[in-house]
Each structure stands twice: as structure tokens, then as C-alpha cells.
């Protein structure tokens, strides 16, 4: 990444505005993409960033760990033998541990997992698992055999490489899973303390993640509707609850063949038991909008905004067709409120210009495909010199319509018996009611709500925030690699998902921290920059034939310095070394 600035003259003064850019290859070109607008980087901005960092992570620069008291010693050094050894990744794991402490998870795990007879505290092993999932998602075996020894966690946690093995990591998974409910209850309180997040409005969505392997002993592993397009694999369903800002509050795991609508009542009851009931508004998509769920929500007095199946639009075709009552709440988006006489719900009719163009293009695309395929089939029938099998032709017609379902209802296709060599000809009629309804309904969708004291704009904007839950799934799948699941035991699967959930908590905390520090919303960019900051052992041979070994942290370059300054983080320059690190003739510095 690079620093670029723009100079402007304003009110007789020259202002220099900085931005952070990176080079990105697009096709054959390399362009500079802005990562963050940094403003003028004045003293006031630096103080604000530092104050935010102290609120979030306290003071991660622990004097005991980073100050050995030898900074002012002076010794003569033989330059010929100066060397650098033991390079480790420092910046990303340092930030991960700062986030782990800042979210209060470090202290919570110490309380939930008190030290016993084990040689390494389970709370420490939990921090290793979550930091690894955030920085370089991989298996427990990879953490033990490769990743951990490449990082400076052994210095930051005072935990030797040999003490981190796969068996201890697996045991840590088991220990952590038992406290899932307590962890989620803690997060509800902590997110409000850090970012003043309100969790009265909760967004809820369901996804699936698949297994590699048979998982024969796991009753949760079932085949069902796969969002990952892997119907050949068993899967589990993950139901996630986040705030309007996207901060995760909790989740539940269901068997892979569970329909979305069957998860709603369980999730609502579970989350309200942990986070309270008063004032909750539940927002979810149309997969949960079964009649039983809607009736249960109304009868129990819960407030909701739920997407409705598009088939329900026909019940409100008259309101959709009239021009009166529509209000533009955003460029290209119109909303109209209608009362449902059956249930008393408020129906929010929505119409989007972008969505209309998309659906129209899809209808035209699939209609053209059906036209072309039917024309080819009609040509083969017409030029056939022997009688055709009508059963086989009907199967071909069904296959054409099935492959293009978006426009299949537009066509009425029949085989008509005629006096010719083939014995039949193809007759195709266009259903004009389909075209009429498509013209009216393209770009339209509807929502249901029992909230009466919100405006149409508030209702629509609240529902649109459901994209935060969808984004959370994308991050967990693509960035934190919750899929595929390699564990076969049911408890280990649950523990794997919990670690991914906690890593997402750190991810979202960093993202919200970035936004408030003016650094955009790409945590992976920050982690990729900071991973290049390493720690090294600098060995200085002295004239007395003893070696001085200094464990130093590389100084950040300009771009990294800007990131750290805006985040309010001060990296240490040295780290204390343990007795195990020092050879008998070395002097600790």
C-alpha cells in the first residue's frame, strides 16, 4: 500500500488530505484503489484514534512483557558476527490478541475456564484457536505443526512452541464449547459498551455449511437444501442473529435437513432468554414466513418484519396496479403501505427500478431460450420422415421448460395430431396473462409487519439491514473458512463453528474500529499489512566473547505507521525473552 495526498487551498490556508491506496490488477491494467481516506492526519485526529483504541483494547503494551530494563546498557560489539535469527509474524497476532482482550473474551474465558492441573491454561489455548482462525484459518493440525511456530504468539502468550499440539487444541475445543451460552450473553453487553450498539432490532438468517466425509456418527449431518451448491455432501444449518450494525450476538446449529421456518421459534426463545425480551423487533426473510410462525409471533406479542413469498403479491394486485399511495423513499425505490384484513398486519409493498430491470432481463433471457429450443424441436418434427413417439417428445418439452422455469408459465405447448409423416406437429401459444402480470409485478416484493408506530421508510430500511446477516455468512465462509467441515464428531463440529463465530466477533470489532478511525471496512487488508511486521532475534557478539540476543520488533513502514496511528496502536520495540530462549553463554537484553 502507498500514501497519496491531495493539496487544496481553503480560507487562505493550504490543506493536505491523505489517503491510503493499494495497487490492484484489473485485467491487463494495474490501478490504484483507495483503501481509506485519512483526512489531514492532524493532532486532533490522532488523539481521537488513540482514545478509541484505549477504550477498545485498554493498554496492550504490557511493561512486564516488553520492557526488560536493559535499554540503557552499553557494551562493545564485534560487527563481523552480527546476525538476525528466529523471524516470526508479529503484527497480525498482536492485533488479534488486542481484539481478544478488548472484547472481554480473554477475561471471560479465564473466569469460565479456571486454571486446574493442566500445564497450559485452557483460556490461553482458546486464544490461540481464535487468533489462528482470524489471521490464517486452518485446521488444528496445521496450527500445531506450522502456523504457531511461524508467529510471535509464543512470546506474547509466553507459551512455548512444543506446548501447542493438536491434542491440546482439540481438548481446548471441548472445554470452550461448554460455555457457549455464557459467551453469547457476554457479547450482548460488551458490544453496547464498545460501540453504543442497540440490540432491540435483531436480524436473523439461516445458511448451511457442508462436510467433507460421511460424518456417519453425527446426527446433525444430513442432506438438505445446500446454499453452497453441494447437494452431494451432508451439511448442517447455522442460524445466526446479529444487530442492525452486523455485530453477532448468537447462533444455533440445526440438522442439515431442517427447513428455515422450523428454526424461528427456537431461535427467538433462545436469544430472548439470553438477551431479554422487552422491545425486541425480529427481522428475517421470507423463508421463515410460514402461517404457523406468523400466528405464533402475533399471539406471543412479538414484533416483526418478515419478507413474504412473491406468490402473495397477487392478493394485493389491485393495490399494486393503482398509482395512488406510492412514496419514493430512495432513488429508484417506492413503498406503499396496505392493511391486511385477515391478520391485521401492515403490508409493505415495495417496488425497485433496479430489481425491475433485472427481473425483466431474466424473463426475456429465458423466454428467448425456450423460443429457440421449441423452434429447433418443431423443425425436427416437421422434417421427420417417420412417425414420432409423442411420449418422448413430451419429455423433451418438459425438459426445456424445466431448464428455464423463470419463463415456463409463459408458454402453452401441445402436440397436435395431424396427417403428415411425423403424425404430429408442435403448437405453441403465449399466455398473455403471464406477460400482463410480469409487467405489473417485475421489481415488486412485499414485507409483513405488525409494527404500527414506524413509518414506511423506517420499516423498509430496517428490513434492508438484513444484508448484514448475509454479509456475516459470506465473511465466515470466505474469510474465516467455516466450510467445509472436516470434523466428524457432533461436539467437535459444534466447537469448530463456535471458534469461527468468535473469530467473526473479532473481525466485526476490527471492522467497526476501522470505520470509526477512518480506515474503511476491510479487516483483511489491515491484517495483510500488519502480518508483514515481524519480530526478530538480533544477535550481537561482544568483545568479551559473549552474545547479546535482542528480541526486536521490526519498525513499520509509512503505510503501516498510518494504519497503526489511526487505530491508536503503539507497537513495542522489544520483547522479553524467557530462560528457555537463551543459551548458556547469552546475555538477556
C-beta separation of 441 from 350 below 8 A: no
Please report where in the chains the cell 493550504 appears, as a residue.
Answer: 14
Nearest to 268 by CA among 244, 302, 218, 292: 302
Q: Which of 212, 194, 191 is nearest to 202 (CA)?
A: 191
pLDDT beneath 50: ranges in the chain: 60-61, 63, 580, 582-589
Instruction: Give the separation between CA 95 and CA 208, rounded to whole angstroms.
Output: 30
Give the Cα-Cα-Cα angle 53, 57, 63 (nearest 5 degrees): 105
The length of the chain, given as a count of residues:
589
pTM over 0.85: no
207 beta partners? 238
Domain ranges in the chain are 308-452
Amino acid at each position: 500500500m502507498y500514501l497519496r495526498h491531495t493539496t487544496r487551498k481553503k480560507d487562505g490556508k493550504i490543506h493536505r488530505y491523505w489517503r491510503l491506496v493499494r495497487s490492484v490488477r484489473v485485467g491487463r491494467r494495474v490501478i490504484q484503489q483507495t483503501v481509506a481516506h485519512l483526512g489531514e492526519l492532524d493532532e486532533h485526529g490522532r488523539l481521537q484514534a488513540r482514545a478509541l483504541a484505549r477504550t477498545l483494547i485498554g493498554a496492550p503494551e504490557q511493561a512486564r512483557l516488553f520492557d526488560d530494563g536493559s535499554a540503557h546498557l552499553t557494551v562493545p560489539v564485534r560487527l563481523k558476527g552480527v546476525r538476525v535469527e528466529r523471524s516470526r509474524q508479529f503484527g497480525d497476532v498482536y492485533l488479534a490478541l488486542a481484539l481478544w482482550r478488548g472484547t472481554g473474551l480473554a477475561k471471560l474465558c479465564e473466569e469460565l475456564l479456571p486454571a486446574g492441573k493442566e500445564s497450559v491454561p485452557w483460556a490461553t489455548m482458546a486464544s490461540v484457536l481464535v487468533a489462528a482462525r482470524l489471521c490464517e484459518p486452518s485446521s488444528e493440525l496445521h496450527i500445531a505443526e506450522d502456523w504457531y511456530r511461524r508467529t510471535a504468539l509464543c512470546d506474547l502468550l509466553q507459551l512455548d512452541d512444543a506446548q501447542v499440539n493438536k491434542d491440546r487444541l482439540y481438548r481446548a475445543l471441548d472445554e470452550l464449547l461448554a460455555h457457549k451460552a455464557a459467551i453469547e450473553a457476554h457479547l450482548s453487553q460488551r458490544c453496547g459498551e464498545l460501540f453504543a450498539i442497540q440490540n432491540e432490532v435483531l436480524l436473523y438468517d439461516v445458511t448451511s455449511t457442508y462436510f467433507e466425509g460421511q460424518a456417519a456418527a453425527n446426527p446433525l449431518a444430513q442432506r438438505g437444501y445446500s446454499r453452497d451448491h453441494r447437494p452431494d455432501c451432508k451439511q448442517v444449518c447455522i442460524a445466526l442473529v446479529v444487530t442492525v450494525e452486523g455485530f453477532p450476538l448468537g447462533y444455533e446449529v440445526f440438522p442439515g435437513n431442517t427447513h428455515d421456518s422450523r428454526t424461528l421459534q427456537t431461535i427467538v426463545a433462545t436469544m430472548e432468554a439470553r438477551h431479554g425480551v422487552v422491545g425486541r423487533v425480529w427481522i428475517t426473510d421470507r423463508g421463515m414466513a410460514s402461517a404457523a410462525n406468523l400466528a405464533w409471533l402475533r399471539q406471543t406479542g412479538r414484533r416483526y418484519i418478515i419478507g413474504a413469498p412473491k406468490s402473495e403479491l397477487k392478493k394485493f394486485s389491485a393495490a399494486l396496479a393503482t398509482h395512488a399511495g406510492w412514496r419514493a423513499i430512495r432513488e429508484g425505490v417506492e413503498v406503499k403501505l396496505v392493511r391486511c384484513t385477515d391478520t391485521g398486519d401492515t403490508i409493505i409493498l415495495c417496488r425497485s427500478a433496479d430489481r425491475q430491470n433485472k427481473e425483466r432481463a431474466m424473463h426475456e433471457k429465458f423466454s428467448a431460450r425456450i423460443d429457440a429450443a421449441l423452434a429447433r424441436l418443431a423443425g425436427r418434427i416437421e422434417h421427420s420422415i417417420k412417425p414420432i413417439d409423442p411420449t418422448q417428445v413430451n419429455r423433451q418439452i418438459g425438459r426445456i421448460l424445466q431448464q428455464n422455469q423463470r419463463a415456463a408459465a409463459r408458454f402453452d405447448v401441445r402436440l397436435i395430431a395431424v396427417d403428415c409423416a411425423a403424425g404430429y406437429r408442435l403448437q405453441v401459444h403465449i399466455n398473455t396473462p403471464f406477460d400482463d402480470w410480469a409487467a405489473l409485478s417485475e421489481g415488486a416484493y412485499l414485507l409483513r409487519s405488525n409494527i404500527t408506530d414506524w413509518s414506511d421508510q423506517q420499516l423498509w430500511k430496517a428490513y434492508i439491514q438484513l444484508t448484514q446477516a448475509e454479509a456475516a455468512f459470506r465473511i465466515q465462509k470466505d474469510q474465516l473458512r467455516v466450510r467445509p467441515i472436516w470434523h466428524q464428531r457432533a461436539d467437535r463440529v459444534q466447537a469448530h463453528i463456535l471458534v469461527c463465530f468468535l473469530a467473526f466477533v473479532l473481525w466485526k470489532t476490527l471492522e467497526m474500529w476501522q470505520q470509526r478511525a477512518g480506515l474503511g471496512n476491510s479487516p483483511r487488508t489491515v491484517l495483510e499489512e500488519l502480518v508483514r511486521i515481524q519480530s526478530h532475534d538480533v544477535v550481537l557478539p561482544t568483545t568479551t566473547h559473549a552474545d547479546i540476543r535482542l528480541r526486536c520488533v521490526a519498525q513499520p513502514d509509512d503505510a503501516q505507521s498510518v494504519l497503526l496511528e489511526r487505530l491508536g496502536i503503539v507497537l513495542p520495540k522489544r520483547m522479553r525473552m524467557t530462560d528457555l530462549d537463551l543459551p548458556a553463554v547469552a546475555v538477556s537484553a
